[in-house]
Structure formats: C-alpha cells, structure tokens
Chains A and B, each alone.
Chain A
C-alpha cells in the first residue's frame, strides 16, 4: 500500500479541534448520537467488568453529551462526574441533567484529560470511552487516570486499537482525528501507558465487531445524506478505508480495565 504522510497538526490544535468537532452538529449528524462503538450495550459491559456498585463515585472522562454518565447513574446507582473539553458539549449535558432532574447524581465539568480538574483519589472508578486514542499526550493523560481514583480504585477504557504503521495516509489529518483513528495505538501500547502510570491491567477484551458496526452506521448516515442531496465530499471513501482496516485486523476496538493498587 502506498503510504502518504498527511498534514499532522500541532497537539493543542488537534485536541481542541477534536473536542469542537465532537460538539458540532456535523458530528452529531454523522455519528448519530453513538459517540463510541458498541453503544450503550458496551457501556453496560464495561460497567459490569468494573463491578460497578450503587453509590460509587465515577469520573467519566470525555463525557460528551452525558449518555454514559446518565446510564451509570440511572441503571447502576452511581454518582457520576463527567468532564469534557468542549464548552458547548458540557453546556448541553448540564441542560440534560437539569431537564431530567438528575443534577444530584450527575454533574458535568469543563476540563482537559491531561489536567483533570479534580483532587487526588476522589473517585472509585474512572471510565473513558473512545477518547484516550485522541489525547495527544497519552502518558500525561494516563498519569491523570492513575491520580484521581482512590487506591484500590478501577479504571475502564474502551478504545480504538490500531497498527499505526499500516494506516492509510488518507485517514490522517483532522478527519482522521475526528474519526478517532489516527492516533490510536496497538492494545499493548495502551497497557504499557497505563502500567507506566501505575495501573495494572485486569481485563482485556476485543470488540472489533463494534467498530465495524459503527463504521457501517456512519456510512449509512453518509449515504442517507447523499440521497438527501447533502454534499458528503470524500467522507465515504474514508469510511471504506476504515472498514478495510478493520477487516484486515489493522484496526479494532478493545475493552480494557486496570486497577490502582491499594496501599
């Protein structure tokens, strides 16, 4: 395969662009409210793998519009704080909490995963769905993931896995970042990043089918737009490339939990 090196923007620009893209109506339209592969079913599986119990304090990093935060509060009885880098997204999530009268159990904050606006050891559980791959400084984010849970606490991540050297050049650049693909890593890299931060992996499950399904959903939406005479540019070519990558095993989706050792 021909490798083309696309433009790689500086890290800060990427991070805010990524958050802005997630909060834009265009992203909503394309992703259709499913901000991560596997949807709520995989969120429940993650919560079950973390043995989440009623009354536990959960931090959801890159909480988006709050789908996961509301689910964990509603179905598991958790007390959830969500943090996201997009101001509009946070405002929307807060409005949902107010509209549903759930402000007591779910709170949303503006903040950066690499500088989480919380004290040390204040949570029982930290979750982060399909967002770790987008953080430019993963080592710093991993240290933050290890800092805010209490000793004995748990961290649960679901994320894109990728063999970066096999990535098609056309998937790089900003569109690649939005699609969560361009800075994803092989699963061993994630484990190492967490281990280096002091978090010990417990569960590692592959859910590649969830990613394939999400790519299908995105493609279906794009085709629906095209039928409605909305210009979708080259987006359909990118979804085709992404699907090929999953089929080859070069891209996938992983559910990973890790423990913060008790003292």
Chain B
C-alpha cells in the first residue's frame, strides 16, 4: 500500500508542550484536491503533532528559487553549543544578518487583547527597560550591523513607556537609517502632541489594524477600537506621519476583511502599506486547529479573491533575504481608484531568482529590488523610497509611470512561526531579530516559540514565567491558564517549566531530544 503523502524533507522542530528539540518531517499531501505542506513531529513525552505550514505546495516548492545567499553579520553574540534553536543568538551558524531589529521596551499594555503573541496587558509583574538599557541594545545592534537599516520599538505597548521619545532619540543619534514604532494607536488617537513628536523624529508608524467589523475588534482586541483607529490615522495624516497597517488574521474571524484593509489603506493619505499576518499562535490567542490554520499562500489567495480586479496570487513574490516561505511581498502603483502591481511591470523572475537565472539584466536594479523585497523595507522612509526610485528604472515606461512607482504602496504577507510550525531550516535564515537587554539578537520566531521570551521576562522581572503552550484544540486536555491569559502545560510549575534547569536565572532553552549524537547501542 502506498503512503498518502510525499515525504519532502527531514528537519528539526520543538515539542510545543515541553519545548524540547525533536526531529521533524515536512510532508506534502493532497487535501480538498490540492497539495498542501505539513510539518509533523513527535515528542517522546507528549506524542505526535502536526500543523499546516503552507496551503499551496506548488508555491512552496517554487519559492525555493527565491533564496538569496545570506550576509554575515560583523559579530556573533553566542557560540554554537547545543545546536539550533538552543544557542540564540545570533550564533555563528546563523545564515543571515539582521534586516530588522526589534526592541521591546516593556511588557505592559493599555489593552488586554485576546490575541497577543507577547502575552502583554495590564500586568504589574512585568518589566520596562531603562534608557541606559535601550542605549546598550542599540549599541549592540550598531556593533553587528554597522549601519542598521531599521529598528522597531515594540512591547507591550511602547507608547505608554514614559521614555519612548528618549528611546527614539537614542536610535536617531546612532547610524540607524529608519525608526519604526509598533503601536495599537490609542495614544496617537488621544494625544496630538505625540503624533507631532513622532513626525519631528521621522518615525514610521506600524499600526495594529485588524479590520472593520465590531466582532473583529471585540474578538481580537477585546474592545471596539474602530473610532480610536480612525482618530489615530487622522492624527498621523495631520502630522505627516507614514503608516503601515499591521493586521493579525485569524481563520473564521477576520479573514473576510483582508481585501477591505488593503482597499482602505490605499485610500488613506497616511498609509503606505499593509502587513497581513496569520495570527502567531505563540503567547495569547484564541483556540485554533493547527491543521486548518492560515498560511501565507492562504492569505495571498484571500487577497486575490477579495480584490479580483486588482490582484492575482502571482503578484506576490517571496522575500529572498529570509527563508522564502516566511514572507511574500508586492508593491503597487495606484491612484486610489485602480491598482497595478509592480511585478506586472518588472519581471521579478529575472532579478530575484537566485537558482535558475544565469544573467541578471541590471545589477543595480537587482540591488534595489533586494532591499524592497526585504524585512527592512518600510515605504515612506527615505531609505525605502530611494530604493523604489532606483527599482523604477527597471520599468520600461515613460517617467510619468516611474514617478508613480516612487510612491508605491507595499503589501506584506508574513507567517511567523509558532511552537507548532517551527522549522529550524527557516529559523536559521531569519532576518528579524529581537534585541535583548543582555545583548543578544534572537530570531523573532525563536524568541516567541522556543522559550526565550519567557526566559528574558523572568530575568528582567525576577518573576518566574512558565513556558507558554499554543492554545491548539488537540492540546487542550494538557493545558491550563497562565496568569497572563495564555496557556501553559498543566503539569508545569509556575516557577519552572519542564526541561528547564534553572537556578542561575538563565534557563536552559530547548534541550535536545533528537537522535543526533546517540548510538544505537
């Protein structure tokens, strides 16, 4: 009898419950008449787990061409000891430098969203970094990148940190090209002076924006924030701030709104892009089925289905600097009425296919496109707008059309990994890094999935933090609530998750349970 799946590759992942490193397989099988990609793994203690990682097997396989050789950072912060993902980071085996560095300034938030990968909220047992710590984190970033492309301040809710503008100034005082602030917009809506202060400092706003239905707001954010979002965007427009809308998309919740989010963004004077992220099932989130979760190809198809006059799935191209299945991007020229995706005007295959291409038409245009198809791209920043101008030269069209490309609108689809979907192959080429107060750069998905977030919070706050486990339907019998609304293993002590030899304040991350290094007898 034949198996019902194609065994595609062997890799490593973690047990979503106890976070030990386990062997994993990527398999392709046909579901509902089309090939889909699944990651399967087994923990000796907690059994077998499987999650959908890409809804379109053909696109998954085709994306392999869009894989750019990595760049070596100027320095590494850790050594290779246990192997990926236990040595973050970055360790010398990491395959890419940091395109985007994230500094989380606090764990506190003025919302308690049912969906929050950072597990933040009205909590008094978290931490907030000091200006001195922030400066050290920025210095670490500059030391490894020399001239970092972009730093993003996040949280918690960074706008409620009383030093947030000092942090921005500290970043501005260093050779970092762009500063992005990740916010829910509540302070922007209420405090016009704050919007002006950000505009004076040339900050790009990354605004959480999940849709338009009241139900969407209540189920994802726990409150109807529609009016606040409108006020925040108006304040940004008035102050001259550039905004990227960032939407967390959950199946059955707001997946019908992705088209409207893009349409709205294209029509709003402050908005230059939209980032659509399948909900990261790390931290706090609503119950989900790992076999039916949203992936990048699903979100791209939703966009094409909901805006058929504007988009086709083929308008989106994988980002070559990270692992190409992690992020897909397109840019469009638009007058608010009609939309033309730039990949229909420049043949991106000619430039971003690193495997089958023999001749690149123009290295300078490739260079610009590489910067645009990257985690460091934020339209409206001088750096990204300059790359748009350079890439526009690749459009064989009169200057009037090229001029439009310089004001292009960006759409990003990004599926962050979680403890269910984590594949070290993708992780090893991650270019989005969390900068920690102790001077490490930890790949964002490792930080959220493997136990680093809990480790750092425990170190910084002195309060024990158990490993967070995804709120997946098949795991429910094994789980109980954490103090922050996320789920933890039912047999975890609050002070110590299983497998974490503590004591020195720095817990052991993801001990190895793969078969590597063991003899049969």
Cβ contact within 8 Å between A224 and B345: yes
Q: Interface readout for B388-405 with A: 1 if CB under 8 Å, 0 if not?
A: 000000011110110110
Q: Which of B237-282 contact A (CB under 8 A)?
A: none
List of B residues within 8 angstroms of A223 by Cβ: 338, 340
Which residues from B are CB-within-8-Å of A75? 358-359
Name the contact of A230 in the complex, choosing from B344, B347, B396, B400 (C-beta under 8 A).
Answer: B400
Helix, strand, loop or mixed for chain A's interface?
helix
Instruction: Tell me if A221 counts as interface (CB < 8 A to partner B).
Output: yes
Tell yes or no: A248 within 8 A of B by CB.
Answer: no
B307 CB, min distance to chain A CBs, angstroms: 14
- Whether B338 pairs with A40 at a CB distance below 8 angstroms is no
A9 interfacial by beta-carbon distance below 8 Å: no
Instruction: Tell me whether B191 is interfacial, beta carbon within 8 Å.
Output: no
Q: A229 with B344: in contact, given A40-B350, A74-B359, A223-B338 (CB under 8 Å)?
A: no
Binds B, one of A25-33, A112-120, A127-135: A25-33
> How far apart are the CA atoms of A241 and B341 in the complex, in Å?
22
Q: How far is the CA of A68 from the CA of B174 in the complex (A)?
A: 49
- Which of A34, A71, A225 has the most CB atoms of chain B within a 10 A radius of its CB? A225
Check if B446 is an interface residue, CB within 8 A of chain A. Answer: no
Given A40-B350, A74-B359, A221-B345, residue A227 in contact with residue B396 (CB < 8 A):
no
Question: A28 touching B396 by the CB < 8 A rule?
Answer: yes
Interface status of B77 (Cβ within 8 A of chain A): no
Cβ contacts under 8 Å, B349 to chain A: 41
Q: Which residues of A contact B338 (CB under 8 A)?
A: 223, 226-227
* Chain B residue nearest in CB terms to A227: B335
Contact call A224/B359, Cβ cutoff below 8 A:
no
**Contact of B344 with A227 in the complex, beta carbons under 8 Å:** no
**A32 and B335 contact, Cβ closer than 8 Å, known pairs A224-B401, A229-B400:** no
CB distance from A37 to the nearest CB of B (A): 12
Q: Which residues of B sit under 8 angstroms from A221, Cβ to Cβ?
A: 345, 397, 401
Report B171-192 CB contacts with A as 1/0, cut-off 8 Å.
0000000000000000000000
Shortest CB distance A200–B (Å): 31
Interface residues of A in 220-242 (CB under 8 A from B): 220-221, 223-230
Closest residue on chain A to residue B397 by CB atoms: A29
Any chain A CB within 8 A of the CB of B163? no
> Are A228 and B345 neighbours in the complex by a CB distance under 8 Å?
no
Q: Is the CB of A227 within 8 A of B334?
A: yes
Assembly CA distance A66 to B395 (angstroms): 18
B397 / chain A contacts, CB cutoff of 8 Å = 29, 32, 221, 224-225
Within 183-228 of A, Cβ neighbours of B (below 8 Å) are at 216-217, 220-221, 223-228
CA distance A64 to B400 in the complex (A): 25
Please give the distance in Å from A90's CB to the nearest CB on chain B. 19
Query: B residues within 8 A CB of A230?
Result: 398, 400-401
| Residues of chain B within 8 A of A111, CB atoms compared | none
A217 CA to B346 CA, complexed, in Å: 9
Binary flags per residue of A50-77, CB closer than 8 Å to B gives 1, else 0? 0000000000000000000001001100
> In the complex, how many angstroms separate the beta carbon of A78 from the nearest chain B beta carbon?
15
B461 shortest CB reach to chain A, Å: 52
Task: Determine whether the beta carbon of A224 is less than 8 Å from that of B358.
Answer: no
In the complex, B333 has a CB within 8 A of chain A:
yes
Interface size class of B (residues with CB under 8 A): 20 to 34
Q: What are the residues of chain A within 8 A of B340 when measuring CB–CB?
A: 220, 223-224, 227
Complex: A29 Cα to B189 Cα, angstroms: 45
Q: How long is the Cα–Cα vector from A34 to B344 in the complex, in angstroms?
A: 12
Residues of A within 8 A of B395 (CB): 32
Q: A74-B359, A227-B404 are in contact. Are A220 and B345 (CB under 8 A)?
A: yes
- Contact string against A for B residues 331-365, beta-carbon threshold 8 Å, 1 for contact and 0 otherwise: 00111011011001101011000000011000000
Known: A40-B350, A74-B359, A75-B358. A224 touches B341 (CB 8 A): no
* A29-51 interface bits toward B, Cβ cutoff 8 Å, 1 = contact, 0 = none: 10111100001110000000000
> Which of the residues A40, A41, A217, A228 comes within 8 Å of B400, measured between beta carbons?
A228
B39 to chain A, nearest CB (A): 32
Write out the residue numbers on chain A whose beta carbons fall within 8 Å of the beta carbon of B337. Answer: 227
Which residues from A are CB-within-8-Å of B401?
221, 224-225, 227-228, 230
A228 pairs with B350, CB closer than 8 A: no
Q: Bound state CA distance, A221 and B16, in angstroms?
A: 48
- Shortest CB-to-CB span from A193 to chain B, Å, is 32
Contact with B344, one of A29, A40, A217, A228 (Cβ below 8 angstroms): A217
Q: In the bound complex, how far is the Cα of B341 from the Cα of A34, in angstroms?
A: 17
Whether B404 pairs with A228 at a CB distance below 8 angstroms is yes
A230 to B403, CA, bound (A): 13
What are the interface flags for B361-385 relative to A under an 8 Å C-beta threshold, 1 for contact and 0 otherwise?
0000000000000000000000000
Q: Which residues of A contact B341 (CB under 8 A)?
A: 220
User: Which residues, 293 to 348 on B, are CB-close (under 8 Å) to A?
Assistant: 333-335, 337-338, 340-341, 344-345, 347
Query: Which 7 pairs show the lowest CB-CB distances between chains A and B?
Result: A220-B344, A228-B400, A32-B396, A33-B396, A227-B335, A224-B340, A224-B401
Give 30 A-B contacts (CB < 8 Å), ordered by A residue: A25-B398, A29-B396, A29-B397, A31-B396, A33-B396, A34-B347, A39-B347, A39-B350, A40-B350, A41-B349, A74-B359, A75-B358, A75-B359, A217-B345, A220-B345, A221-B397, A221-B401, A223-B338, A224-B340, A224-B401, A225-B397, A225-B400, A225-B401, A226-B338, A227-B337, A227-B340, A227-B404, A228-B400, A228-B401, A230-B401
Q: Which residues of A contact B (CB under 8 A)?
A: 25, 28-29, 31-34, 39-41, 71, 74-75, 216-217, 220-221, 223-230
- Given A31-B396, A32-B345, A32-B397, output 4 extra A-B contacts at Cβ < 8 Å: A224-B340, A224-B404, A227-B404, A229-B400
